[in-house]
Amino acid sequence: MSSRNLDFTRRSLLKTAALVPLASGAVGQEADASNSLKSKAARRGITFGCGVSAPQIAKDQAFRAAVMADCAEIVPWAEMKWGFLEREEGSLDFSSADALVQFAHANSLKIRGHTLVWYNNLPPWVPQALAGPDGRRFYETHIRTVLSHFGTKVVNWDVVNEAIEPNDKLPGSYRNSPFLKRFGPDYIPHAFEIARSVLPHTPLYYNDYGIEYNFQGSKRDAVLELLSSLSKRGLVDGLGIQSHLKIGLWFDAKAFRSFLADVASLGLSILLTEFDVNDMRAPADIATRDREVADHAFRYLETTLDEKAVKGLVAWGLSDRYTWLDVPPFARRDGLPSRGQPLDAKLQRKPLWDAIARALDGAPVRPS
């Protein structure tokens, strides 16, 4: 990522974990705790949170305060992924993830687990190890070890991430991943089975992107089929819809609302797990761009939050100060920083913050 990505040391994060005040306003903003995204969400029975990385929390006090002000939950961007935990075979390093867990607990935030099985961000040794004679052991040990390590400190898990990819043109629309190559589609239910056996009371999610817009209908169908087969076996508790939105794509509210109802009818919860808005196709002018981002987001959130099975909303980065949207090929071609997060780079609220607030205020109350 960019030079904004600060170096992380475990010691500094552990030190800050205990020091962060319990509730503080975002920089320069009123400290009215009820006028925060987490309070607005909580009033509707929804959890609002954001994705973070350990260096941001360790080193950026103003950002930490912004997280505390608006969020009831954090999700590690990368620190719980296999590629982060076990770069070398057999040498596990939980320090960054543990520090985030400790920060969350010291400050009464929930923390979600993301993610156990993902084709991306694997340690370099894993694809070959999976393909070898001990492949099954490596796979199962990874899932068991990570879940046992965090236990019930993590509120729920994205067990499998991004396993459907119709463009790979395989039966069932499964993604052509090292897991699929080695084990076939059974690797998915098997991961959930292991997770259930280690943590029987922790809600387990299947998480994916690319189902938010109509042209992604075949992926929606494949995800629904996967969920249906997992839920028949009692293996899955919910769907994580990443919600990486993009200006310029047409959001068909009616079709998506009916997809959400189909998921809910399986008895599953839904979380919006990585919400943000890519503005690369919006005009450079900031006022116009912010308005387009807010309008696009509002249409999406008004629709999704209308479904009572949707219980959580996680912004994938709270502010434009830290965002993956500035990394090519997702970044704007004119080099301008993206404005797809609720706070700007100075941690000031933007029209997108207001749009999220408005959508939360208008959402029906979830049964407790």
Q: Which residues bind ligand G3I (CB under 6 A)?
A: 1, 5, 7-8, 53-55, 77-78, 81, 121, 209, 242, 274, 324
Residue 342: burial class (beta carbons within 10 Å; 0-12, 13-18, 19+)? buried
How far apart are alpha carbons 359 and 288 in whole angstroms? 20
We find the least distance from the C-beta atom of residue 323 to ligand G3I, in angstroms, to be 8
- Catalytic annotation, pick one of 60, 86, 193, 274: 274
Nearest approach, Cβ of 244 to ligand G3I (angstroms)? 7
Q: Which is nearer to ligand G3I, 231 or 323 (CB)?
A: 323
> Which residue number, 56 or 304, has a Cβ lying nearer to ligand G3I?
56
Ordered alpha helix ranges (H), the chain: 10-19, 37-43, 54-59, 61-70, 82-85, 95-106, 126-131, 135-150, 178-183, 187-198, 217-232, 253-265, 286-305, 351-362
Considering the complex, state which of residue 342 and residue 351 has its C-beta at the smaller distance from ligand G3I.
342
Cβ distance to ligand G3I smaller for residue 55 or 351: 55
DSSP, res 95: H
Active site residue 225: no
- Closest approach of Cβ 247 to ligand G3I, in Å? 17
Residue whose tokens read 């239910």: 189
Quote the CA–CA distance of 269 and 258 in Å, as a whole number. 15
Q: Choose, from 162, 193, 276, 344, the residue flagged as catalytic.
A: 162
Distance between CA atoms of 146 and 187, rounded to whole angstroms? Answer: 17
Are residues 54 and 9 in contact, defined by beta-carbon separation less than 8 angstroms? no
The answer to whether residues 319 and 66 touch, using CB atoms and an 8 Å cutoff, is: yes
Is 208 an active-site residue?
Answer: yes
Sequence-distant (6+) residues with CB within 8 A of 343 are 26, 66, 70, 318, 319, 320, 321, 349, 350, 353
Q: How far is the CB of 9 from ligand G3I (least distance, A)?
A: 9
Shortest Cβ 39–ligand G3I spacing (Å): 26
CB of 265 to ligand G3I, least distance (A): 26
Does 292 qualify as catalytic in the annotation? Answer: no
- Rounded to an integer, what distance in angstroms lies between the CA atom of residue 367 and that of residue 35? 22
Q: Judged by CB, which is closer to ligand G3I: 5, or 128?
A: 5
Q: Which two tokens stand for residue 223?
A: 């995800």
Q: Is 220 exposed, middle or buried (0-12, 13-18, 19+ CB in 10 A)?
A: buried
Q: Closer to ligand G3I at the Cβ: 275 or 363?
A: 275
Catalytic hit among 158, 208, 276, 292: 208
Catalytic residues: 162, 208, 274
